[in-house]
Structure 1
């Protein structure tokens, strides 16, 4: 069975003609778009005639201040007298002050007995934990090395308890805490370089006062030489 088809219903019959017509229309539109130009509109110039008489302005009168010209400079003398220089000028001779290796400055005889040589003592600091002979607290003399350390710590605690006073300002405000105090027992056995660190300046000041009241001790020794010994102690401030 053959499919019956109407020849007039063939859509591809005039496709070539339609393609050529469409291409011609597109080319024409493109050409006109490229050739299209725009021009600025010309505005008519308006010429205004201004009456010259209306431009007259009233110019204010100004007063010219005349200043007196400066006096003329003095005139030069008609005759110039030339004076000959007859005085002899003595030239100053500047001698060199540089010295050479052959110049002898002075000969001084020095006697070795007149020279005093002073040995500067070096301030050696040895920690309390490793020093050979710890500083001796008053009342701990004549004990062994182990007993010396126990006696030193015991005397230190007794001194803190004896001189302890709670600051009134800190007590009223309810301030408490621990203050860490570090100081140095010098080569002469005196207390110096006190440093404090705590929760309140009033507590730090009181801890510094307590440590500053320590008595002079027998200085610590390292290899039979007096040395400085740093020491630190915590002081606990607690309200009851």
Structure 2
């Protein structure tokens, strides 16, 4: 009988999608939106091409509040996709999620909006 644990089956490593208490940015969504607004660097190539839209980034908020495993779920172009990941990764202030009174890893997704202001 094998007794070794497979990754993802141990409750310590389980990633929750809908925990009892979801992970949240420190300061709330307002702080995250402010961070994005202040730090977004619209790629020049995307501006020239007229690219606008939402890039949906998926990531895991770890038990210590750091962000890991970032990936684009739906993008609008490689330049904007990279910038959206950079923005989410640079906001490293998260309150981890909880499930049954335990701090847990939580999968999140968040849209980053790219709109050319004329």
| TM class, shorter-length | 0.7 to 0.9
Structure 2 length normalisation: TM-score?
0.78
Q: Deviations 1:132-154 (Å, cap 9, x if unpaired)?
A: 23335334xxxxxxxxxxxx222
Residue 121 of structure 1: how far off its partner (Å): 5.9
Structure 1 portions without partners, runs of 5+: 1-119, 140-151
Count of residue pairs the alignment pairs up: 107
RMSD, aligned CA: 1.9
Distance between the aligned counterparts of 2:60 and 2:29, measured in 1? 15
Q: Deviations 1:80-108 (Å, cap 9, x if unpaired)?
A: xxxxxxxxxxxxxxxxxxxxxxxxxxxxx
Distance between the aligned counterparts of 2:46 and 2:116, measured in 1? 10
Partner of 2:76: 199
Which of 1 and 2 has higher RCO (CA within 8 Å, sep 6+)? 2
Structure 1 length normalisation: TM-score?
0.41
Partner of 2:61: 185
Report the structure, 1 or 2, having the larger strand content.
2
Distance between the aligned counterparts of 1:204 and 1:218, measured in 2? 25
Partner of 2:15: 125
Equivalent pair of 2:12/2:104 in contact (CA under 8 Å): no
Decide whether aligned partners of structure 1 residues 174 and 192 sit closer, same or farther in structure 2, where only a CA change above 3 A counts.
Answer: same
Structure 2 portions without partners, runs of 5+: 1-9
Moved over 6 A (4+): none
Is residue 2:5 matched to residue 1:165? no
